[in-house]
């Protein structure tokens, strides 16, 4: 082209010169013009030499099959040198104006879907009622080819297909077809039918999990595992529904509810999409948590086609033209759901760095402090506040801090090396060098594998160094094993609402009358603590616990225990002398913890108090002193917060009393499971201190406990939101060290008044077992009436709606209808099974229901075991994970039920153990051996503890070689815990028995 331009300029120059000479050089100008025009045409023809397709393919063929390739086969005019080769970048560098936030037509859900049509968090949907799919297939294909409909999933109702129509006749390119044609079960010979088209670029792992066809409902369910999906979904269930016009709406809803509930129970972490022609049937009537997305008419003025999903804000619907001559319009649904990882912004945390130099400097700071300066001229409240503020000030001043950015999906193996490799990969991508980009991708993949390997080695090193906390933290990170509890919402008014709700039992002025406790004995001396008690308590602080409202961490107190023990001892003794607790020590921050995965009301939150760590140390010292005063034989049927007691003991004793009573003729048992409304929050401090004083506690200590429970400042904190402060004087805060012991002492006088009844307690879970003979329920009903009166006297509120009753009656003759039980005029609900202290108890005392729940839960944990296996952890660690997460479930309270379960139940349990053994790759303990060892261990502990309620069942024979067997007539009693336990162990030698029982209190009354 440069040559051509040169020739043209030369031509113009010569022409101008010729014009100046005008007539004289006219003939010579014409000759020159013709000559230069000839040269120009020749050069142009040479530059635009054309090759046909056949010639170019022949040139490529010659170069391809000659090794090494020779340039002789390529004509010189189409040859290119190596320097002339330019590789366009994989993605053009975006200019500044394009890097700004997109607005208008360049942004939104449709733009994101158009950019990545087959990679959305939820699939894009196309819904249509076609009325004969075969007749609309051409237009259907035309929409796909013209890119007017490129949805991930197409849901078609009223396909009108039958067995005579093969799949090949209605298949679409790049899409998988799933059909559910109308069958004879519908009562009609033709019409109806459902079809799903799933794009192969979105998901290839698909299969049908359910079909259903009745006169009222047609149903097709497909489970999908897409290539890319949000982490919060394990799979996506797509359910197509067609409800005929003449269907019974109530029956159709019942059938659809059962089908969808069954699938949701089997796939609890899946996103469920229900779409189709509902014909005026409202799915939200039975599934209120599902949200619908079509709010415009789909046929005439009626909305007959609808899409439901269990994910709020999942889709945005838009109307589309009719498909053929169908009387329903089509609907296109664009996914608007954003994954949790995209909605959660990274947080910046400021953490303190505990170096050896900083720790030593902090100890020196407290060692050189004159603590008497804080005490001069101050009262207890000011003294305590100034000391805590000074400790926090020194900690902040001495310890260095650093800021850490925490991402929602950040893994512990994502270190600086992986981050640098990731940046190098991005730089190579932007450069356009394909070879460098491929090399960077390989290096990144290798670096990630090495980082994961190093993390796995650290986890194994924690196990070798006997550091179980860090080991299990690493294992949970690898497996993504998290609690399923739902997080609280970000409603700014929720903290104040919860704070008011938690304080609903507060009665102003009811706890300020000291009453008889003002009459203290003159010789009464307050409790005086010693320095070694405070120092040893500080050294046993768990540093992983969060700090309280004073922000003094447990690590500071544990590290500087020697330096801070003296001043804290002075504060504690001054508090005991004045029988007063500083307000800064009894203030609390309430953290609402969900009781279940789905929170539906305020009562689904449990108020857990976050109190100062210093106060917990103070409470722990007081608790040890109370235990030394209270006799071990007090309230033997309270199984919570006591040594050698557990839920197994409570359930075993209740079942043994039940089965032993049923051995006699004409007997049955009524078991009442009592539920209290927020039992810990209704304790009256005045009544508690009076009971403590009657039990032998000094009056000064009782007054100190009363002051600890009254005038407590309380706030509720959810995330960064904090409620206003409320002052409470009722209840024992959950989360304090003293609260469990105080509540058990408060309820110690709740016991049976008749020998034919048994009242068992585990904290606030109370069970009344009525042993009834000859249909005489007088004692049982008097017992319930006495319990009701005791609750009213002690301000405990019986929740009759949640209180349940089970009747165990194996009589075949003389069986009469049982009269309902009334509490405060309200009938107690009678059930066939109930979950009592983690064990499912049925009215026939069989264990199939309980074992099925255990097997289902254990099989879900096998997924995490397989995930650990793929990471390459050692068999020893896999075995520990199995024992902690799977065997602990299978053997939960096994001493209660395993001996009485059927052979089929044991086979189901053994199948889980066998599967886990194949994953671990080594032998695992069988459940039979685990059960036998646990029975022997528990039997030995009960036999050696005279205060245990079951100790009187272990009676040695005169020979002293074994215990006297419990007389049984049925296998139910023979296979239960206590008869097996008595047969499994032998008494210790006489001299060991006399040595072990020396100075022990006498056994309590076991009736």
Which pLDDT tens digit goes with each residue over 358-380?
889 999 998 888 888 888 777 88
Closest CA to 195 of 169, 225, 170, 164: 170
Residue 121: φ, ψ to 5°:
-65, -40
Strands (E) in 285-416, as ranges, are 291-292, 305-309, 315-320, 330-335, 347-352, 401-406
Q: What is the per-residue pLDDT for 294?
A: 93
Q: What are 832-835's contacts with CB under 8 Å, separation 24+?
A: 832/806, 833/806, 834/673, 834/804, 834/806
Please give the residue that has the higher pLDDT: either 839 or 77: 839
Give the confidence band of 413 by pLDDT, cuts at 50, 70, 90.
confident
What is the DSSP-derived secondary structure letter of residue 90? S
999 burial level (CB within 10 Å; 0-12, 13-18, 19+): exposed
In a domain? residue 96: no
- Beta pairing class for 153-157 and 125-129: parallel
Mean pLDDT of 906-926: 90
Across the range 895-921, mean pLDDT stands at 91
Higher pLDDT, 72 or 349: 349
CB-based contact 920:901 (threshold 8 Å): no
DSSP letter assigned to residue 671: E
Number of domains in the chain: 4
Instruction: Examine the domain organization and report whether 784 and 687 are in the same domain.
Output: yes
Rounded Cα distance, 733 and 585, in Å: 13
Confirm if 317 and 307 have CB atoms less than 8 A apart. Answer: yes
Return the closest-CA partner of residue 150 out of 370, 320, 281, 391: 320
Q: Roughly how many angstroms between the first and final C-alpha of the chain, as a whole number?
A: 114
Q: What is the pLDDT of residue 871?
A: 78
Answer yes or no: are the C-beta atoms of 571 and 552 closer than 8 Å.
no
Among 274, 309, 335, the domain-final residue is: 335
Q: Is residue 430 a part of any domain in this protein?
A: yes
Check if the beta carbon of residue 284 is closer than 8 Å to that of residue 257. Answer: no
Q: What integer pLDDT is reported at residue 617 of this predicted model?
A: 92
- DSSP of 235-294: -EEEEEEE--TTS-HHHHHHHHHHHHHHHHHHSTTSEEEEEEE-TT--GGGT-TT-EE--
Cα–Cα distance measured from residue 93 to residue 99, given in angstroms and rounded to the nearest whole number: 10
Handedness of CA 914, 919, 921, 922 (dihedral sign): negative
Instruction: Give exposure, 418-439, as e/b (b: 16+ Cβ within 10 Å).
Output: beebeebbeebbeebbeeebee
Q: Are residues 305 and 427 in the same domain?
A: no
831 inside domain: yes
Q: Is the pLDDT of residue 208 over 90?
A: yes
Q: What pLDDT, on the 0 to 100 scale, is given for residue 243?
A: 93
In our burial notation (b when 16+ CB lie closer than 10 A, e otherwise), range 726-753 reads: bebbbbbbbbbbbbbbbbbbbbbebbbe
What is the average per-residue pLDDT within 460-467?
74
Q: Compute the radius of gyration of the chain from its Cα atoms.
A: 40
The confidence score (pLDDT) of residue 346 equals 79
| 464 alpha-carbon distance from chain centroid | 29
Give the pairing of strands 271-277 and 236-242.
Answer: parallel
Amino acid 77: pLDDT: 60
Q: What is the model's pLDDT at position 152? A: 92
Q: Picking from 247-251, 349-353, 386-390, which range would have the lowest pLDDT averaged per residue?
A: 349-353
Residue 586: closest CA among 705, 745, 752, 462: 705
856, part of any domain:
yes
Q: What is the pLDDT of residue 61?
A: 60
> Of the candidates 299, 317, 297, which has an alpha carbon nearest to the alpha carbon of residue 307?
317
In a domain, 539, yes or no: no
Residues 675 and 802 in one domain: yes
Residue 157: what pLDDT?
Answer: 94
| Cβ-proximal residues to 842 (8 Å cutoff; 6+ apart), any chain | 806, 832, 833, 849
CA distance 481 to 475: 8
- The pLDDT score that the predictor gives to residue 508 is 60
pLDDT-derived band at 1000 (thresholds 50, 70, 90) equals very low
Name all contacts of 998-1003 with Cβ < 8 Å and 24+ positions apart. 1000/946, 1001/631, 1001/632, 1001/633, 1001/946, 1001/947, 1002/633, 1002/946, 1003/633, 1003/946, 1003/947, 1003/951, 1003/952
Query: Are 871 and 803 members of one domain?
Result: no
For residue range 387-404, list pLDDT tens digits in order.
999 999 999 888 888 888
The full DSSP string for 121-143 is SS--EEEEE-SSHHHHHHHHHHH
pLDDT at 524: 62
Range of the domain at 319: 109-335
Question: Where residue 172 sits, what CATH number does that domain have?
Answer: 3.60.10.10
For 456, counting Cβ atoms within 10 Å of its Cβ (0-12 exposed, 13-18 middle, 19+ buried), the class is buried
- One domain for residues 241 and 382: no
Mean pLDDT, all residues of the chain: 82
pTM score over 0.85: no
pLDDT of res. 990: 62
pLDDT tens digits, residue range 256-269? 999 998 888 788 78
Residues 262 and 365 in one domain: no
Q: Indicate whether 783 and 678 sit together in one domain.
A: yes
pLDDT at 21 > cutoff 60: no
CA distance 181 to 194: 6
Does residue 293 carry a pLDDT above 90? Answer: yes
What residues are paired with 302 via a beta bridge?
299
Average pLDDT over residues 200-206: 90
The per-residue pLDDT for 333 is 92
Domain co-membership, 695 together with 722: yes
Contact at 8 Å (CB) between 802 and 675? yes
Per-residue model confidence (pLDDT) at position 433: 86
Q: Give the containing element (helix H, strand E) for 607.
A: strand 605-610
Q: Is the domain of 173 the same as that of 227?
A: yes
Residue 13, pLDDT score: 46
Q: How far apart are CA 752 and CA 671, in angstroms?
A: 14
Residue 178 clears pLDDT 50, i.e. is over it: yes
Does residue 68 have a cis bond before it (omega within 30 degrees)? yes
Banded model confidence at residue 107, pLDDT cuts 50, 70, 90:
low
- Residues 285 and 380 both lie in one domain: no
SS3 599: coil
Residue 355 lies in a domain: yes
Which has the closest alpha carbon to 802: 781, 819, 826? 826
Q: What is the pLDDT of residue 732?
A: 87
Least confident of 492-501, 516-525, 933-942: 516-525
pLDDT at 899 over 60: yes
- The span from the CA of 563 to the CA of 503, in Å, is 39
Structure tokens at 747: 């309820």
Model confidence pLDDT, tens digit, residues 441-452: 999 999 988 888
Using the predicted structure, report yes or no on whether residue 34 has a pLDDT greater than 90: no
CA atoms within 13 A on the CB side of 424: 16
Residue 13 counted as domain residue = no
Residue 8 within any structural domain of the chain: no
- Is pLDDT of 523 > 70? no
Which has the higher per-residue pLDDT, 33 or 536? 536
Share of the chain above pLDDT 70, in %: 83
Dihedral angle, C-alpha 218, 222, 223, 225, nearest 10 °? -150
Per-position b or e across 797-812, b if 16+ CB within 10 A of its CB: ebebeebbbbbbbeee
Number of other residues whose CB lies within 10 A of the CB of residue 783 = 22
| Residue 410 reports pLDDT greater than 90 | no
Higher-scoring residue by pLDDT: 709, 997: 709
Pairing mode, strands 804-808 and 829-830? parallel
165-179, 467-481, 672-686: least confidently modelled range: 467-481
What's the whole-number mean pLDDT along residues 824-847?
89
Quick one: 174 and 303 in the same domain? yes
Residues 116-143 have pLDDT tens digits of 788 888 999 999 999 998 888 888 888 8
**Is residue 726 helix, strand or coil?**
strand
| pLDDT tens, position by position, 903-914 | 999 999 999 999
Same domain, 805 and 675: yes
Confidence at 489, pLDDT banded by 50, 70, 90:
low
Q: In whole angstroms, what separates CA 790 from the centre of its chain?
A: 39
Q: What is the pLDDT of residue 306?
A: 93
C-alpha neighbours within 13 Å on the C-beta side of residue 915: 18
């Amino acid at each position: 082209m440069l040559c051509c331009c040169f020739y043209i300029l030369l031509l113009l120059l010569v022409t101008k010169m010729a014009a100046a000479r005008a007539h004289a050089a006219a003939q010579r100008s014409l000759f020159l013009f013709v000559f230069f025009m000839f040269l120009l045409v020749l050069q142009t023809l040479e530059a635009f030499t054309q090759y046909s397709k056949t010639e170019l393919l022949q040139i490529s063929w010659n170069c391809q099959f000659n090794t090494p390739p020779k340039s002789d086969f390529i004509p010189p005019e189409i040859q290119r040198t190596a320097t002339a080769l330019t590789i366009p970048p994989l993605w053009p560098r975006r200019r500044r104006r394009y890097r700004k936030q997109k607005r208008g037509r360049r942004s939104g859900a449709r733009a994101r879907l158009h950019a990545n049509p087959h990679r959305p968090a939820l699939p894009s949907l196309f819904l249509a009622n076609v009325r004969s799919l075969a007749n609309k297939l051409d237009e259907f294909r035309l929409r796909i080819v013209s890119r007017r409909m490129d949805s991930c999933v197409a849901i078609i109702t009223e396909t009108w297909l039958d067995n005579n129509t093969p799949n090949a006749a209605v298949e679409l390119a790049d899409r998988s077809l799933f059909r559910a044609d109308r069958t004879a079960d519908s009562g009609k010979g033709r019409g109806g039918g459902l079809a799903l088209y799933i794009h192969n670029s979105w998901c290839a792992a698909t299969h049908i999990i359910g079909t259903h066809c009745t006169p009222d409902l047609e149903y097709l369910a497909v489970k999908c595992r897409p290539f890319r999906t949000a982490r919060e979904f394990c799979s996506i269930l797509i359910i197509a529904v067609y409800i005929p016009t003449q269907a019974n709406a109530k029956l159709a809803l019942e059938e659809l509810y059962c089908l969808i509930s069954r699938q949701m129970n089997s796939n609890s972490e899946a996103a469920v999409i229900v779409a189709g022609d509902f014909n005026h049937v409202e799915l939200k009537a039975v599934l209120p948590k599902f949200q619908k997305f079509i709010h415009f008419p789909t046929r005439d003025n009626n909305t007959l086609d609808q899409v439901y999903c269990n994910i709020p804000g999942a889709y945005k619907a838009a109307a589309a033209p009719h498909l053929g001559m169908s009387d329903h319009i089509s609907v296109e649904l664009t996914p608007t759901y954003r994954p949790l990882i995209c909605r959660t912004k990274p947080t910046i945390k400021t953490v303190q760095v505990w170096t050896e130099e900083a720790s030593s400097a902090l100890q020196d700071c407290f060692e050189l402090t004159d603590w008497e300066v804080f005490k001069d001229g101050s009262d207890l409240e000011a003294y305590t506040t100034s000391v805590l503020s000074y400790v926090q000030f020194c900690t902040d001043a001495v310890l260095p801090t650093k800021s850490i950015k925490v991402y929602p999906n950040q893994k512990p193996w994502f270190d600086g090396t992986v981050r640098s490799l990731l940046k190098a990969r991005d730089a190579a991508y932007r450069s356009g060098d394909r070879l460098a980009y491929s090399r960077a991708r390989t290096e990144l993949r290798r670096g990630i594998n090495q980082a994961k390997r190093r993390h796995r080695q650290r986890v194994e090193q924690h196990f070798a160094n006997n550091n179980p906390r860090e080991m299990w933290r690493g294992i949970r990170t690898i497996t993504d094993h998290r609690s399923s509890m739902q997080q609280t919402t970000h409603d700014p008014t929720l903290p104040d609402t919860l704070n008011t709700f938690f304080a609903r039992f507060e009665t102003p002025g009811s706890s300020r009358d000291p009453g008889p406790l003002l009459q203290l004995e003159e010789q009464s001396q307050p409790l005086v603590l010693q320095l070694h008690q405070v120092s040893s308590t500080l050294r046993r602080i768990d540093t992983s616990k969060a700090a309280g409202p004073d922000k003094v961490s447990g690590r500071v107190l544990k590290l500087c225990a020697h330096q801070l023990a003296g001043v804290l001892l002075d504060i504690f003794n001054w508090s005991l002398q004045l029988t007063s607790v500083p307000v800064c020590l009894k203030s609390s921050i309430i953290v609402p913890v969900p009781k279940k995965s789905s929170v539906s009301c305020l009562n689904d939150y449990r108020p857990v108090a976050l109190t100062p760590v210093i106060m917990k140390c103070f409470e722990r010292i007081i608790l040890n002193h109370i235990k030394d005063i209270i006799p071990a034989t007090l309230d033997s049927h309270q199984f919570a917060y006591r040594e050698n007691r557990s839920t197994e003991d409570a359930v075993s004793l209740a079942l043994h009393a039940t089965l032993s009573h049923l051995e006699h003729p004409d007997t049955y048992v009524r078991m009442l499971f009592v539920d209290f409304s927020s039992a810990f929050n209704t304790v009256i401090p005045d009544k508690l201190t009076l009971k403590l004083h009657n039990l032998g506690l000094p009056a000064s200590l009782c007054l100190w406990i009363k002051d600890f429970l009254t005038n407590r400042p309380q706030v509720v904190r959810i995330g960064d939101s904090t409620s206003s402060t409320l002052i409470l004087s009722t209840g024992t805060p959950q989360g304090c060290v003293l609260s469990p012991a105080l509540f058990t002492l408060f309820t110690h006088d709740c016991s049976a008044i008749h020998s034919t009844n048994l009242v068992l307690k585990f904290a606030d879970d109370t069970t009344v077992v009525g042993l009834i003979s000859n249909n005489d329920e007088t004692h049982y009903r008097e017992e319930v009436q006495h319990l009701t009166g005791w609750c009213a006297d002690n301000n405990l509120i019986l929740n009759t709606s949640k209180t349940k009753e089970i009747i165990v009656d194996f009589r075949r003759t003389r069986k009469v209808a049982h009269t309902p039980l009334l509490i405060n005029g309200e009938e107690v609900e009678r059930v066939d099974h109930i979950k009592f202290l983690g064990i499912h108890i049925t009215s026939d005392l069989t264990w199939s229901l309980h074992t099925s729940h255990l097997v289902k839960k254990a099989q879900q944990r096998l997924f995490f075991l397989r995930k650990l296996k793929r990471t390459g952890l050692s068999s020893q660690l896999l075995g520990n994970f199995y024992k902690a997460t799977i065997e602990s479930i299978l053997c939960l309270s096994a001493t209660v039920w395993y001996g009485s379960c059927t052979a089929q139940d044991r086979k189901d349990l053994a199948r889980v153990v066998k599967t886990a053994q194949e994953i671990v790759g080594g032998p695992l303990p069988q459940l039979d051996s685990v059960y036998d060892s646990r029975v022997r261990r528990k039997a030995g502990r009960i036999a050696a503890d005279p205060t245990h309620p079951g100790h009187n069942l272990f009676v040695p024979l005169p020979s002293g070689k074994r215990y006297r067997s419990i007389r049984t007539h049925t296998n139910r009693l023979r296979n239960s815990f206590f008869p097996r336990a008595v047969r499994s162990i032998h008494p210790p030698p006489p001299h060991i028995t006399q040595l072990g029982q020396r100075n022990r209190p006498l056994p309590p009354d076991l009736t």
